[in-house]
């Protein structure tokens, strides 16, 4: 779909199509729909990022809490969103060895206990070894710095999901 098709979507369709560009947060899509028409995919992305950036810290943490644990119960039970399942599979998180799975589970729990939200990283830009390393390192971060880092990872995920939905070849002529 191109940006003209995006701009022609009714509210319900827009929310259905873009409701998971930020994991399990259709409210983000709902909030930016009112800014249609968008000149380009970049303008749509900017609107989403601005919405996220203007949230209070509790709202940003709410977005982070919508993310599943990496290689966690949802992956094992097959209850991840389609996007998360594909992203985690690409990173090799569906093929962890027993020791890796145990280590990932321990680190996920340590991280959530420390920060109050799940570890978020753009799985499509990493492999399982780097994800494990980052998870271990980021468990040592300060809360505010880690929240900011996790929000930036949400934006990377969103960027890639948007690119999968909207062609970037022609800006809309407003």
Q: Which residues are catalytic?
A: 67
User: H or E element: which one contains 150?
Assistant: helix 143-165
Cα dihedral 20, 24, 27, 33, rounded to 10, equals 0
Q: What is the DSSP string of 42-105?
A: HHHHHHHHHHHHTS-HHHHHHHHHTSPPTTSHHHHHT-S-HHHHHHHHHTTGGG--HHHHHHHH
d(CA 37, CA 35): 6
| Secondary structure of residue 20 in the 3-state scheme | coil
Do residues 121 and 131 make contact, with C-beta atoms less than 8 angstroms apart? yes
d(CA 77, CA 86): 14
Q: Which two tokens stand for residue 80?
A: 């991840």
Phi and psi at residue 2, to the nearest 5°:
-100, 175
């Amino acid at each position: 779909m191109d940006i003209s098709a995006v701009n022609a979507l009714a509210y319900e369709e827009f929310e259905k199509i873009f409701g998971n560009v930020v994991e399990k947060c259709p409210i983000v899509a709902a909030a930016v729909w009112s800014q249609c028409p968008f000149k380009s995919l970049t303008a749509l992305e900017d609107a989403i990022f601005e919405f996220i950036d203007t949230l209070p810290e509790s709202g940003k943490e709410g977005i982070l809490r919508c993310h599943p644990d990496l290689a966690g119960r949802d992956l094992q039970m097959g209850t991840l969103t389609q996007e998360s399942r594909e992203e985690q599979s690409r990173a090799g998180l569906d093929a962890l060895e027993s020791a890796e799975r145990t280590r990932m589970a321990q680190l996920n729990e340590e991280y959530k206990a420390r920060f109050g939200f799940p570890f978020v990283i753009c799985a499509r830009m990493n492999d399982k070894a780097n994800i494990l390393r980052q998870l271990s390192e980021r468990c040592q971060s300060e809360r505010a710095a880690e929240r900011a880092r996790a929000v930036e990872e949400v934006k990377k995920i969103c960027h890639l999901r948007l690119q999968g939905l909207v062609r970037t070849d022609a800006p809309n002529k407003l």
